[in-house]
Structure 1
Amino acid sequence: MNVKLTPVIVKKFIPSRRPDSRKGQNGKVAVIGGSYMYHGAPTLSSIAALRSGVDLVYTYVPNVIVSSVRAISPNLIVVPMVDSKLTRGSANKMLGQIPEGLDSATIGMGLAVADDEGLKALVKSLLSQDVRLSLDASALTRSILPLIPNANVVLTPHAGEFQRLFGILPSNSIKQRVSVVEKFAKEHSVTILLKGSTDVISNGAKTFINPKNLAAMTVGGTGDVLSGVVAGILARNRNPLESAAAASYVNGIAGKMAQKKVGLHMVATDLIDAIPAAMKPFDRVA
């Protein structure tokens, strides 16, 4: 049985904020991505994570694009990766720079992976430090599946990435999409957020659906924004299923707002601009 997401459900999944909280207590997030071609993807994820309500975002990108990313926003803490692609060496160097008390990380947006061993080392080490993970794009490889059962991990594939991971291409049928997501989420003991006109989110035991049907959301970068929101909510809510469901819903509401404002001419930054208004009904100070 699947449950359609509603504001009442989502409000339970987004934690309140203490009025006397200090910087860092509302979430520290790492975004690991980017390559020579793709400086925008990790930047979009990073700003989306900030807009979701976390206090600090550390953006790890290859040295070749550090200046470009820093120029886009002064709100980001940009950390150079030593290689132009993710290698075992650059992963180990990066792990030595991870700040204390990191809550969550999202990995893969625009990331050039030279060596799966580097990716595996990164995932394994972060999980051992109790960092919750959102994996997208280049981080969605079969090699990471043995590392993530029963861990605080969300996979965020679109249909093609889902096929790369599990060998089955989801159809447009909601019933079939729910079936395959539940099957593989249960088989691998992980939370899966299958992106599409209707998002399907499942941990194999419980499933949520989020119909969006937004023609403008096909523009590049909207998935990167979603990854940032997943990591942002995951930094404050330790439950991967609840965090993924809430992020899907917020991303969809922001999409509706952006599409209403600019029509079919939306870009990913329009989506980010709408996140605060999309999350406002769920803001609580307690």
Structure 2
Amino acid sequence: MKNYSIVDSDLVNKIILPRSKQSRKGDNGITLIVGGSRIYHGAPLLSSIAALRSGTDLVYTAIPKINLSPSRNFSADLIFVPFPDDKLTSGAVRRLLNTIPKKIGAAGIGMGLSFSKSQSLLTLIDGLIKQDARLLIDAGALIPEILSHIVNTRTVITPHAGEFKRLFGDLPTEVLDEQIRLVTKKAKEHGLVITLKGFWNIVSDGDQTFVSQRTTPAMTVGGTGDILSGLVAGYLTKYDSIHACILGLYFNGLAGLNIFNKLGLHMVASDLLAELPSVMKDFDKISD
């Protein structure tokens, strides 16, 4: 008996919520993205624009101060909150938590992020949970020390196979059924929502499991995972954790397929940002 569901347009259409035509700025979500480093300046920018594309109203982007000027030139649509060092420190976390609005609905942490000690990351996670922000954790922030701080919170984690092993000590095989069993088991044990990225993208909260096949090998280009994380973080302001992951995977993959049909294997991740509205608009709903 099949123990998972396929992510498809019918499922997505059932999940999508209407936007009130009377809504005001902020009603449709406020998202925080924390990432970046001296080397990986682009990751939080891709994530932040993707969060805006998800339909969230405001995105605050916390990045190292050394990346501030080029980041502002990249986009006028983001609100930047620079931290003073090229790594996230405990002092920077305290200032960040005191600076951001108290109405942050969700936060994506880790895209390109470098931190001085694990304690600074843990302080950030604890502080955001205390503020009732829903969390997505990705990339460099996926270290074993976070698990005891996010257990039973339905926090979203988005590892590829190597990051999954770093977190849990188990390396997923290439066999789909075995991947599903492992992801479901770990999600259940820790009270998390896990999105394992790869040829098969597997989403599970331990009870429900969904599978989405990668739409094109062009999606292996760097940055597509950062865009997925931004989409999911944006959706987390309005949707439960597993639905946010499903929507992010579906639209990221469909945008990638459209670009592949235009450009072949020559896409770059930022191409997705321009393509996302085209694949999303047919699912838009507006209510009174």
TM-score normalised by structure 2 residue count: 0.97
Task: Rate the CA distance shift 1:152–1:99 in 2: closer, same or farther, 3 A.
Answer: farther
Q: Per-residue deviation at 1:14?
A: 2.6
Please give the per-residue CA displacement for 1:54-90, whole angstroms capped at 9, x wherever unaligned: 1100000000101111110111111111221011111
Kept after mapping to 2: 8 A contact 1:82/1:93: no
Kept after mapping to 2: 8 A contact 1:61/1:81: yes
- Report the counterpart of residue 21 of structure 1 in structure 2: 23
Kept after mapping to 2: 8 A contact 1:32/1:60: yes
Question: In the alignment, does 2:114 pair up with 1:112?
Answer: yes
d(CA) in 2 for partners of 1:198 and 1:273?
25
In structure 1, give the amino acid aligned to 2:74: I
Kept after mapping to 2: 8 A contact 1:182/1:204: yes
- Report the counterpart of residue 187 of structure 2 in structure 1: 185
Question: In the alignment, does 2:236 pair up with 1:234?
Answer: yes
In structure 1, give the amino acid aligned to 2:138: D
d(CA) in 1 for partners of 2:99 and 2:48?
17
- Report the counterpart of residue 281 of structure 2 in structure 1: 280
Q: After the TM superposition, which residues 137-176 of structure 1 pair with which residues of structure 2 at under 5 Å, given as runs?
A: 137-176=139-178
The number of residues matched between the two structures is 285
d(CA) in 2 for partners of 1:126 and 1:168?
28
d(CA) in 1 for partners of 2:94 and 2:140?
18
Q: Per-residue deviation at 1:281?
A: 2.4
- Report the counterpart of residue 100 of structure 1 in structure 2: 102
Please give the per-residue CA displacement for 1:18-74, whole angstroms capped at 9, x wherever unaligned: 001111111100000000111100000001111111110000000010111111011
- Report the counterpart of residue 250 of structure 1 in structure 2: 251
d(CA) in 2 for partners of 1:101 and 1:198?
35
- Report the counterpart of residue 267 of structure 1 in structure 2: 268
SS of 2:165 mapped into structure 1: helix
Task: Rate the CA distance shift 1:152–1:204 in 2: closer, same or farther, 3 A.
Answer: closer
Kept after mapping to 2: 8 A contact 1:14/1:243: no
- Report the counterpart of residue 123 of structure 1 in structure 2: 125
d(CA) in 2 for partners of 1:278 and 1:105?
24
Q: Per-residue deviation at 1:156?
A: 0.3
Misfit runs of 4+, over 6 Å: none
Kept after mapping to 2: 8 A contact 1:49/1:57: yes
Q: Per-residue deviation at 1:11?
A: 2.0
Q: Per-residue deviation at 1:179?
A: 1.1
d(CA) in 2 for partners of 1:170 and 1:273?
33
Kept after mapping to 2: 8 A contact 1:108/1:135: yes
TM-score normalised by structure 1 residue count: 0.97
d(CA) in 2 for partners of 1:15 and 1:98?
27
Q: After the TM superposition, which residues 188-199 of structure 1 pair with which residues of structure 2 at under 5 Å, given as runs?
A: 188-199=190-201
Question: In the alignment, does 2:75 pair up with 1:73?
Answer: yes
d(CA) in 2 for partners of 1:273 and 1:5?
23
In structure 2, give the amino acid aligned to 1:182: T
In structure 2, give the amino acid aligned to 1:214: T
Q: Per-residue deviation at 1:214?
A: 1.1
Kept after mapping to 2: 8 A contact 1:63/1:80: yes
Please give the per-residue CA displacement for 1:201-229, whole angstroms capped at 9, x wherever unaligned: 00111100011241100000000000000
d(CA) in 2 for partners of 1:170 and 1:274?
31
Root-mean-square deviation (Å): 1.0
- Report the counterpart of residue 39 of structure 1 in structure 2: 41
Structure 2, unmatched stretches of 5+, are none
- Report the counterpart of residue 204 of structure 1 in structure 2: 206
Kept after mapping to 1: 8 A contact 2:215/2:254: no
Instruction: Return the match for 2:7 from 2, 5, 13.
Output: 5
In structure 1, give the amino acid aligned to 2:181: S
d(CA) in 1 for partners of 2:41 and 2:26?
26
Kept after mapping to 2: 8 A contact 1:13/1:243: no
Structure 1, unmatched stretches of 5+, are none
d(CA) in 1 for partners of 2:29 and 2:256?
24
